Structure 1
Amino acid sequence: MASAITTLAADAPTLSAANTGFMLICSALVMLMTPGLAFFYGGMVRVKSSLNMLMMSFISLGIVTILWVLYGFSLAFGTDSGSLIGWNSDYVGLSGIGITELWDGYTIPVYVFAVFQLMFAVITPALISGALADRVKFSAWALFTALWVTVVYFPVAHWVWGAGGWLFELGVIDFAGGTAVHINAGAAALGVILVIGKRVGFKKDPMRPHSLPLVMLGAGLLWFGWFGFNAGSWLGNDDGVGAVMFVNTQVATAAAMLAWLAYEKLRHGSFTTLGAASGAVAGLVAITPSGGAVSPLGAIAVGAIAGVLCAMAVGLKYRFGYDDSLDVVGVHLVGGVAGSLLVGLFATGGVQSDVAGLFYGGGFAQLGKQAIGVAAVLAYSLVASALLALLLDKTIGMRVGEDVEVSGIDRVEHAETAYDFSGAGGGTASRNTAATAPAASKKVDA
């Protein structure tokens, strides 16, 4: 018995300084993705609502952080209850956790795991905001964010990643958030826009991006931060799986960008910077659930397929009449669905697990599991998000007035504008200043 106890003690995980440092860096990278998303979305809207778009992402860093500490971590990763939700009183306020206490079976502290997962919780509602550009009260959006992460994100995160969660136990593979983050956010975006309706002038007025350089900056920051998002989700790199995920993240993103541009050239005759940025994000979305299960060649296939599918999907809003302002449904929902299902085709059985997809002799079993995960998260998020939006719309109102939307939401909601042109030389301001100058001054100048 004594020797058995000694063996168990020797096999127990011990804190790894290398893995802990790596995961803290990954957490910071994922945090950077939310400001990156703000730039990406902020450049895609018209100038009169660019600050509002930035703030709709940025506010998530405040709201979700506090809720995560108070109860979110406990709901998502506490002890399972009925395969639907977790709870652990020690996690409430993060007050009952020892500073060197290790996360279950891993070599990193619970605190490190908690802050890493916090950054996922922060960016997910921020993703939704792109579908609602130009027309939502900031106060209503802030309240929606708080309600949505509580009712939708925390439970779904437990289903997918929490020990005992029903999708986790079913064997659904979601390496870093294809279902819990992207399908979840994309379905929520669709649910909300079906409730609040279209922008004034949708399909009539030009609604082009006001700053493509900002869009490209945001896409670059997202791409950079996504390495932490994906590679960090293995919670260390002792066995090389995180390194494979890092490589696949780069490969799939490149393939998706090229595929989107090729489709765009064939369909519309041009290679656009917006297409390059959107294609890159589509690839990042699609490889998120699948990158730990496929080879680099499989990652090329995942990225290329997602790039074309998402490029095709962004036009559906005009056909079906739903106003997905910045293509959250077309990129995140479609990309998340594609990446999650493609696990069932391209999983090699030799990376994160021995589960093989259809093309590697595994049959249809994993594809079926992936489809269940996709359908469950999509349906729950769509319905729950629509109900939350309807509740807020009927109580405090979700939308700004039509006059505010037309004149610009930034001035009314934030009392600011993104750009100040009043001091530009040689313009109206200069002429007005000269016209009102004292007479003596004018005589001297003359």
Structure 2
Amino acid sequence: MIEFSIHKVWIIAKREYLERVRTRSFILSTFATPLLMGLFLILPALISTSTARGIVRDSERPVRIVIACDSRALAELARGELIRQQGARYEPSVVSPASPAEHAQLDKRLDTGDIEGYVWLDGPARTSRQVVFATGRTGDLILQRRLGEALSYAFAAERMVKQGSSAGDVAATLQPVNLIAVRAGESFSVYNAVRGAAVVLILMFVMLFSLLSYGVMVMRSVMEEKSSRITEVLLCAASAQELMTGKILGTGSVGLTQIAVWLTMAAFGASRSLYLRTAISVLGVGSSLIVYFVVFYILGYLLYSAIFAGVGAIFNSIDEAQQWNFVVILPLIASSAMILPVATSSDSPISVLVSLFPFCSPILMFERLAVHDPPPWQVALSLALLVATIGAAMFVSGRIYRTGILMYGKRPTIRELSRWLRHH
């Protein structure tokens, strides 16, 4: 029976850890990644709320829209509803009646930038409900959506008035509903879908980035030592199982160190910045969610790094191993594709099954915990299956590793791999 020394594993893990945290790439990625993430999170918000050329201008004056309509009453209804909507500042005006001369004049005002757009509501448009909105801001989807809501309100109010309803009845009937979602059994705990999505995207990006980068790092380290014949020297002092375990633990500690630095930076920023503290409070990132993140990150890393270590021991060059990288990370790619369906239907049978699948559970079960409260037995079963799969992956990769790291010159066949697994 091969002796397994914890002390030797600690020495190997320490060497792997110190070798990587002292590199410039680790320092650069640790401090540059949060800045890039912040940039990519803020930039889409800026783009979605305004076109590039109108960002500065919109901050200085309201968005000017003209509603040209044959019916002044209908246009005034749409104008009032657009003003009532909260968000961007709108300055709608009414032109009635909508004559060809007014059409030409509005085109000139749009070309000179005097207005941001105009709605043309002549007789055919009112009959067909096909309304034209001429604008140079075709990418401003928020403006188009709110303008569409205002016109829908105006058409509905006009119909109700014609049927004999009073202005008060029309306003009360068309008053929008403010829908607030709460978690089951927690009447005062408001669930914000935007908050859940933001938390999941930020933390899952970190998890995917770490699992892929540090898993591949383990594989490359194995292959570099194998090609340089350093492994033969190391095997004189430790067993193959100790080498693989120390390498996995040391590299994984680098990832945990990086995440700890990010959390420390976030905590420090929150203590100094009221804006960041408010954002974290709104997002609702609690301690329990951070604990779940760390647990699933560690288990996910152990699973994929064990597989990557086995793949690195099989092949002789990076080019050969890269052909299998896609196969190894395919469950992570599938998990990324399932993020939106699982978030919108967290309790569906398919969502439950994929979150229990060990190769996807580090991502998808964590997502369900962030956006929803799955039953405790599902979380426990997911963790149990994940731990069992890690044990199996460690066993199989250990068998491959102890033989493969000493094999050079040719790629092993499936028959040879099966013989490595049977070898005691």
Q: TM-score range by the shorter chain?
A: under 0.3
Alignment TM-score, normalising by the size of structure 2: 0.27
Higher relative contact order (CA 8 A, sep 6+): 1
Which is richer in strand?
2
